[in-house]
Amino acid sequence: MSYRTLDATEIVKTLRSLEQRIAQRFPESGLSKVCRELVSIGEDAQHRAEAIATPNVALRITIYVAIVAGLLGLVVVALVLTQLIQLQMGNECSDCFKASTRR
């Protein structure tokens, strides 16, 4: 393990052993209460980190659907533009044909 990463399990384990040592040496001190609170905060942080690390399936599905809808929208726009261009070219060609047959 790198020194740049923290292991929540090890942190909580260290806090618990520190709490036990402080409680043995200074049983009624405010320091042991502070350490108990740190253990509680560490456990909460560990559970939150685990919850955050789990993949959000609903969000992933929503993103995939949005991407597919966007791609389908682009295809529709491309098809419509192609149709419009063909119609415009067809009208121009028919105008040219009509103009050439009028002579």
Please say whether the beta carbons of 11 and 44 come within 8 A.
Answer: no
Please say whether the beta carbons of 12 and 42 come within 8 A.
Answer: yes
Q: Where are the domains of the chain?
A: 1-54, 56-103
Q: What is the pTM of this model?
A: 0.55
Mean pLDDT computed over 72-82? 94
Sign of the C-alpha dihedral computed for residues 32, 37, 38 and 40 taken in this order: positive
Nearest Cα to Cα of residue 49 among 83, 102, 96, 12: 12
pLDDT tens profile 16-70: 999 899 989 987 888 888 888 999 999 999 999 899 989 999 999 999 999 999 9
